[in-house]
Chain A
Amino acid sequence: MRRNFLGLLGKAWLALILVFLYAPILVMAAMSFNASPFYQLPFEFSGAWYQDMMANEQIFTAAARSVLIAAATTVLATAFGTSASIALFRYDFRGKRILQVLLFPPIAIPWLITGTAMLIFFFTIGIGRGTPAVLIGHVALALPYVIVTVSARLSSFDITLEEAARSMGASSWTVLRRVTLPWIAPGIVAGGLFAFAVSFDQFVVSYFLSKPGDTTLPVLIYTSIRKGFTPEINAVSTIIIVLSMAVMFLAARYSRFGGER
Chain B
Amino acid sequence: MAEALLPTERRRLVSLLSPAYLWLLVAVFLPLSAMLFFSFLTGLPQDDPDWGVTLANYGKFFQNPTYPALLWKSLKLGLWVTGFCILIGYPCALVLAKSIKGRAREALFLMVILPFWSNSLVRIFSWAIVLRGNGVLERTLNFLLPFDVRLNLMFTREAVVIGLVHSYLPYVILTSYLALQAIDDDLIDAARSMGASKLTILRRLLLPLSLPGLLAGAVLVFVPVVGSFMEPRILGGRLGTYYGTVIEDQFVAVYNWPLGAALSFILLAVVLLILALTSPVLKRART
Contact = CB atoms under 8 A, between A and B. Distances in A.
Contacts of B268: 109, 113
A218 B130 contact: no
Nearest to A118: B31
Interface string A11-29: 1011001101111110110
B232 to A, nearest CB: 12
Contacts of A102: 21, 24, 29
A79 B120 CA distance: 27
B77 interface: no
Nearest to B17: A87
Contacts of B228: 110, 112
Contacts of A117: 28, 31-32, 34-35, 261, 264
A31 B120 contact: no
Contacts of A94: 2
A177 B261 CA distance: 46
A147 B20 contact: yes
Interface in B15-48: 16-17, 19-21, 23-24, 26-32, 34-35, 38, 45-46
Interface stretch (A50-58, A161-169, A197-205): A197-205
B23 A258 contact: no
Given A13-B92, A201-B118, A91 B13 contact: yes
Interface string B74-108: 00000000000000110110111001100000101
A80 interface: yes
Contacts of A64: none
Given A17-B92, A249-B110, A258-B109, A120 B136 contact: no
B224 A116 contact: no
A184 to B, nearest CB: 14
Contact of A27 (B21, B130, B275): B130
A248 B118 contact: yes
Interface of B: 1-2, 4-5, 9, 12-13, 16-17, 19-21, 23-24, 26-32, 34-35, 38, 45-46, 88-89, 91-92, 94-96, 99-100, 106, 108-115, 117-123, 125-130, 132, 135-136, 139, 166, 169-170, 173-174, 177-178, 181, 198, 220, 223-224, 226-230, 233-234, 244, 247-248, 251-252, 257, 260-261, 264, 267-268, 271, 275
Given A22-B115, A84-B19, A140-B27, 10 more contacts: A17-B169, A18-B112, A112-B227, A116-B251, A118-B28, A143-B24, A203-B121, A248-B118, A252-B110, A252-B114
Interface of A: 6-7, 10-11, 13-14, 17-18, 20-25, 27-28, 31, 39, 41, 76, 79-81, 83-84, 86-88, 91-94, 99, 102-103, 105-106, 108-114, 116-124, 136-137, 139-140, 143, 147, 172, 197, 200-201, 203-204, 207-208, 218, 221-222, 225-226, 229, 233-234, 237, 240-241, 244-245, 248-249, 251-252, 257-260
Which 6 A/B pairs are nearest by Cβ-Cβ distance?
A110-B227, A140-B27, A121-B31, A87-B16, A10-B95, A92-B1
